Structure 1
Amino acid sequence: MKIALITDLHANAQAFSAVLEHARSQGVTDYALLGDFVGYGGDPAWVLDKVRELVSAGAVAVLGNHDAAAALGEAPTMRDEARAAVEWTHSRLDAAQLAFLRQLPLSVTVEDRLFVHANAFDPAGWAYVQGRLEAMRSLHATTCRFTFCGHMHEPMLYHLSSTGKAGEFTPTAGVSIPLLPNRQWLVIPGSCGQPRDGNPAACYATFDSLSGELNFQRVPYDVEAAAASIRAAGLPERLAERLLKGE
């Protein structure tokens, strides 16, 4: 079974479409959607409907902090740009779309795999896995061999050995990584809809549950069209600029 790990779509229809097309070309059979389907981008309804289609076909999906804020229509702790996008998003979603967001779980466990948006130690607190310390805290909080999470918009991989030795590295797209059986792993695929590592190409990853092979992927897409959608929605210009720069 080859799983596409897609997170932080952020209402970017162009990026999500390109990633789905690329995933099909890689022989993906299953999808895990790790939250933040809305916020920032100009096409929340389209993206959310596509997520709902995938979930109806068997995909895993979990709640992100932007999803929670949009569903409730509240974002008091967010920065001004994010809050403006969430408030606008809430006004553009219909009752069924909002209800879908509200019923999303914070985490899902399938066999030895944990899917969660932010972390395993406090999924509802939305704390970021910013480095090895938070990654180890997350891995210690679960018995699952694999943890797949989003929230951080840059691709990253962490591991914990059976003797307690921790490691981390920044992956290279397209290079297959064997996830060795004597370790726990925390995989952050990077953001599909708003990468922040200086490269505007969409991020996602594929995981083969039989071989244990992991591949981080980068997919070029029409960034200009995604930025134009943000501008057409009347959202802050800075949100469009960040897409173009990958920041």
Structure 2
Amino acid sequence: MRALILSDIHANLEALNAVLEAAAGTYDVLWNLGDVVGYGASPNEVIEIIRPLAQLNVRGNHDRVCCGLASALGFNPIARAAANWTHDEMTEENRQWLAGVPKGPIHPEGVPGIVLAHGSPLNEDQYILTMRDAWAPLQQTGIEITFIGHTHLQGGFCQREEQWHELRPRYETRNDAESWILPLPERTRHLINPGSVGQPRDHDWRAAFAIYDSEASEIVFHRVPYDLTTAQGRILMAELPEKLALRLREGR
């Protein structure tokens, strides 16, 4: 079984299209880890692509706010402005679909040892940024592989007995499509972040995703370039905060 893992698309249509084109024919199921909308200027278009394609969806914090399930008051002013714009821009049908996306963690049926979450599997709003953050989820859940998003940082953490490691893919460029393979040894627990499709924050502007291959016991991390200029132009034309367009080029 090969699963395409996407997270934090954030209404970036150009990045999503580039990812789906790059991944075409290489996966059996698509799992979406949340934050389909927010920040970007194409919420309806992105939802209408993801809805029929994803076998499993987990809600993100921006999804929760943008569809009206939670207040935007906890967001910074830029995120709040984007969330309010997104709420008004979405169709009623798409708002209702987003409101029905379940909270993580989710256990894919028929796939033992796998969990899907947006933030920590212990708290959907918690960011797992450091080994200290990863310690409790790795110790308490007992799950072999937990796929998470939320941080927009591709990589993760693993633990085997007394050994702990932080995982960061290593790439050669910042311009071309590249991949990096992570073998999955037995008796090892992993927290894996596929990275953000639509707004990476690891100083690499390229769209990020991952493919989990259960038969090969590996995860392949990917980065692909996309039509950045058009994505930025959509944000500016929508009169969203200019910083949301500028940060796409910076990858942060």
Q: TM-score, normalised by structure 2?
A: 0.92
1:10 touches 1:41 (CA, 8 Å); kept in 2?
yes
1:115 touches 1:147 (CA, 8 Å); kept in 2?
yes
CA distance in 2, matches of 1:198, 1:175: 17
Q: Which residue is equivalent to 2:113?
A: 112
1:2 touches 1:208 (CA, 8 Å); kept in 2?
yes
1:194 lines up with 2:199 in the alignment: yes
Question: Residues 146-225 of structure 1 correspond to what in structure 2 (within 5 A)?
Answer: 146-161=145-160, 163-173=161-171, 174-225=179-230
CA distance in 2, matches of 1:34, 1:8: 7
Q: How many residues matched? A: 240
SS at structure 1 position matched to 2:59: coil
Q: Which residue is equivalent to 1:41?
A: 40
Q: Which residue is equivalent to 1:229?
A: 234
1:7 touches 1:33 (CA, 8 Å); kept in 2?
yes
1:38 touches 1:67 (CA, 8 Å); kept in 2?
yes
CA distance in 1, matches of 2:114, 2:81: 35
Q: TM-score, normalised by structure 1?
A: 0.94
- Structure 2 counterpart of 1:67, one-letter code: D
Q: Which residue is equivalent to 2:92?
A: 95
CA distance in 2, matches of 1:60, 1:220: 25
Post-superposition CA distance 1:86-118 (Å, at most 9, x none): 000000112211111111111211221100000
Identity among equivalent pairs (%): 34
Post-superposition CA distance 1:6-55 (Å, at most 9, x none): 10000000000000111115x11111110000000000000011111113
Q: Which residue is equivalent to 1:129?
A: 128
SS at structure 2 position matched to 1:176: strand
Q: Alignment RMSD, CA only?
A: 1.2
1:242 lines up with 2:242 in the alignment: no
2:158 touches 2:167 (CA, 8 Å); kept in 1?
no
Unaligned runs of 5+ in 1: none
- Structure 1 counterpart of 2:245, one-letter code: A
Question: Residues 29-108 of structure 1 correspond to what in structure 2 (within 5 A)?
Answer: 29-55=28-54, 59-72=55-68, 74-107=71-104, 108=106
Post-superposition CA distance 1:97-147 (Å, at most 9, x none): 111111111121122110000011112xx0100110111212223122100
SS at structure 2 position matched to 1:195: coil
Deviation at 1:180, TM superposition (A): 0.7
CA distance in 1, matches of 2:91, 2:41: 15
Deviation at 1:219, TM superposition (A): 0.6
CA distance in 1, matches of 2:154, 2:234: 25
- Structure 2 counterpart of 1:171, one-letter code: P
1:195 touches 1:246 (CA, 8 Å); kept in 2?
yes
1:4 touches 1:207 (CA, 8 Å); kept in 2?
yes
Unaligned runs of 5+ in 2: 172-178
- Structure 1 counterpart of 2:64, one-letter code: A
Deviation at 1:60, TM superposition (A): 1.1
Deviates more, 1:168-177 or 1:72-81: 168-177
1:10 touches 1:36 (CA, 8 Å); kept in 2?
yes
SS at structure 2 position matched to 1:109: coil
1:146 touches 1:184 (CA, 8 Å); kept in 2?
yes
CA distance in 2, matches of 1:47, 1:172: 29
CA distance in 1, matches of 2:6, 2:170: 17
CA distance in 1, matches of 2:121, 2:17: 29
